[in-house]
Amino acid sequence: MIRVLKRDPALWITATLTLAVCIGANTTVFSLVNSILLRPLPYADPGRLYWVTERTGGGGMEGGVGADYYSLRKMRQLFAEVAAYDTLTLNWSGVEKPEQLDAAQVTPSFFGVLGVRPRIGRYLAEGEEGRDPLAVLSYSFWRNRLGSDPAIVGKTIALDGTAHNVIGVMPQGFDYPHGTQVWRPLPMRESTELPRAATRRMRRVYMIARISPAIPAEALDGEMDNVTRSIRAEYPKELAADHFLKTMRVIAMPLSRRITGDLRPALVVLSGAVGLVLLIACANLANLLLVRASSRRRELAVRMALGSTLGRLARQVLIESLLLALPGGLAGAALAALAVKFLNTWTPLVLQRYPVVTMDLRTLAFTFGLTLGTGIVFGVAPALGSAGVNIQESLKASGSAQGTLGAAHLRRLLVVVELGVSLVLLIGAGLLARSFLNLAHTELGFPAENLLTLRVNLTGPAYASAKSQTRYFDNTLAGIRRLPMVRGAAAATDLPLSGEGPYSGIAFQVTGRAPLPMGQRPEANVTLVGREYFAVMGIPLRSGRLFDIEDSPKSPDNIVVNEAFARRIFGGEDPLGRSIFWGRDDTRRLIVGVVGNIRGSALGEDVLPLV
């Protein structure tokens, strides 16, 4: 059979190249699916790990409040353990090159919930929330920044100007929340969170929990309804009629689903697309083999005349197809390995918060099975064609005969299948291209060319006061503006399109309108900016004025809003001269200007009101 294939090297090369590209694409996508969706989380009994969050109305905030954490911990029949955490950025100083570190503040139960033991040292213990500053390091930070110091436990590192005692190093591969380099105690106590009160400031936290083994997954939704009722009952009576409390519910979703997020449907669609491409390739190769089988009808007829059975001939043709598929499968696996290496090196933005993509035994088994399945699929048609060979007619036919009528019908059917699948792919590609073009031409609200950003985290005793922070920014901006290539510089607490929800949210009231309960108040995003911000960003002024020399941190009562805010809150009314207030100080914020809309967290989302 190898000699038979050698007589037609063009077919062998065509099949190998075609299958290498198609199987390589399918293997690459499966590597993504396997690494992100199929592979279990690297924690003890990951099926019982859940993300617990509050939802209100039709949407909801991500996470909960500190009081929820202490309430959930008391529900021992439902939760084996609960943990809370938040994320922040810390300045690592006292070294030659200071850095900003991604960090998490966690409760002592955090590592126990995930079921992970430290590589060296220990993790946080109960009651250490208020003790001397402690730090647990990630493996990558310990190895890459501290030289894998085996005696690191007991030493200190300076974070935000404060010496933190290192008590442990987590094992390689532990990466929750994603990208965290340092974990330290969450400064939260039950006495400051409970009992719940209308006047008490609520601390925002994220929560994870390990569900009790006695609770089946299908019963969890009903149990969370009971949790919602229990937490609602803990709020004071004066909030009983509040819209927030009436619509608030506590839900739990598998932690794996929370981590994969919006990428799951995209990977499913991508898997279907590359699968259809492989199907087209199989139809093409089946057609080529049918044509080749037609040219071998006399050879097959001679074999049958010499005693070969139809089954034996069909098996031979099928084995030849498998031999054609194997080189393509090997080349496809090699291409997939290169593609996976490229993805891990390049790390596109959409994959940055997900695990490293790898090719494991499951991926190789998928590639092997896909190769065999492909060989069988495009080999079935010629095998059926060979089974229909008529000895007398084939021996009488000339060498240029094009095969039986059945084979011709089969070739035409394969062409129809190719056209149908290709049409589906073309329609999908057209819709995707149109969506991409729409996003590419989305108006950002500011010219993004030649804009550079840097992040500064001012913490520690040296910047404890607003005056010292203002002085730092004034001096830094003055130095930047003196650079010959700089046309302007400004400061802001948040940057558009810098991540999920870059702005803080507020629920406010409009002065002169009837007061509303918390859950019914209009909402907007808020950010703090310097006077030069709008000019540097190129955000146009629509009406009123921008901030000037009279506006300063000492007189923060004037605000500028975007067009979406003016349209949604005031409709056809003029917002200039109107005021709003939020929080507990009831300070009236006067609207002095309206600027153009800018995109916030995502290109495809509606522009939200911004203050």
Q: What gap in Å lies between CA 290 and CA 379, rounded to an integer?
A: 9
Strands (E), 37-118: 49-55, 64-65, 79-93, 99-106
Highest mean pLDDT among 355-369, 489-503, 505-519: 355-369
Closest CA to 428 of 203, 274, 207: 274
Highest mean pLDDT among 169-173, 287-291, 494-498: 169-173
DSSP 500-561: SS-SEEEE-EETTSPP--GGGS-EEEE--B-TTHHHHHTPPEEEE----TT--TT-TTEEEE
| pLDDT tens digit sequence for 243-255 | 566 777 888 999 9
Q: How confident is the model at residue 11 (pLDDT cuts 50, 70, 90)?
A: confident
pLDDT surpasses 90 at 82: yes
Q: What gap in Å lies between CA 239 and CA 226, rounded to an integer?
A: 19
Question: Are the beta carbons of 154 and 216 closer than 8 angstroms?
Answer: no
- Taking the CA of residue 351 as centre, how many other CA atoms within 13 Å lie in the half-sphere pointing to its CB? 19
Query: Which pLDDT score is estimated for 109?
Result: 93
Query: Which pLDDT score is estimated for 124?
Result: 87
Name which of 133-137, 253-257, 287-291, 561-565 the model is least confident about: 287-291
- CA 605 vs CA 362, 493, 501, 515, 602: distances in Å: 37, 22, 11, 30, 6
Q: What gap in Å lies between CA 107 and CA 421, rounded to an integer?
A: 53
Q: How confident is the model at residue 555 (pLDDT cuts 50, 70, 90)?
A: low
Q: How confident is the model at residue 111 (pLDDT cuts 50, 70, 90)?
A: very high
- Torsion, CA 129, CA 132, CA 136, CA 140, rounded to 10: 140
| pLDDT tens digit sequence for 511-539 | 888 887 766 778 888 888 888 999 999 99
Q: How confident is the model at residue 399 (pLDDT cuts 50, 70, 90)?
A: very low
φ, ψ of residue 324 to 5 degrees: the values are: -70, -35
Closest CA to 381 of 272, 500, 284: 284
CA 181, 183, 187, 191 dihedral sign is positive
Query: Which pLDDT score is estimated for 294?
Result: 63
| pLDDT tens digit sequence for 69-80 | 999 999 988 999
Provide CB contacts within 8 A for 585, sequence distance 6+.
Answer: none
Highest mean pLDDT among 190-194, 275-279, 362-366: 362-366
Which of the pair, 85 or 301, is modelled with greater confidence?
85
In degrees, to the nearest 5, what angle opens at C-alpha 335 toward C-alphas 331 and 341? 145
Task: Give the predicted TM-score (pTM) of the model.
Answer: 0.77
Q: Which long-range contacts (CB under 8 A, 24 or more apart) does 240-244 make?
A: 241/517, 242/517, 242/518, 242/519, 243/57, 243/517, 243/518, 243/519, 243/520, 244/56, 244/517, 244/518, 244/519
Provide CB contacts within 8 A for 219, sequence distance 6+.
Answer: none
Query: Which pLDDT score is estimated for 610?
Result: 87
Query: Which pLDDT score is estimated for 395?
Result: 46
Amino acid 326 reads L
**Helix, strand, coil fractions of the chain, as percent rounded to 5:** 45, 15, 40
Question: Are the beta carbons of 442 and 603 closer than 8 angstroms?
Answer: yes
Which of the pair, 305 or 434, is modelled with greater confidence?
434
| pLDDT tens digit sequence for 152-206 | 999 999 998 889 999 999 999 898 998 899 999 998 888 878 777 766 677 889 9
What does the pLDDT average to over 339-362? 79
| pLDDT tens digit sequence for 293-321 | 666 666 666 666 555 666 676 677 778 78
Roughly how many angstroms between the first and final C-alpha of the chain, as a whole number? Answer: 75
Q: Residue 208: in which H helix or E strand, if any?
A: strand 204-211
Q: What gap in Å lies between CA 303 and CA 34, rounded to an integer?
A: 46
Query: Which pLDDT score is estimated for 400?
Result: 44
Query: Which pLDDT score is estimated for 107?
Result: 93
Highest mean pLDDT among 1-5, 465-469, 575-579: 575-579
pLDDT surpasses 80 at 91: yes
- Residue 166: strand pairing partners: 135
- Residue 207: strand pairing partners: 52, 84
Question: Are the beta carbons of 558 and 592 closer than 8 angstroms?
Answer: yes
Which of the pair, 92 or 347, is modelled with greater confidence?
92
What does the pLDDT average to over 494-510? 75
pLDDT surpasses 90 at 403: no
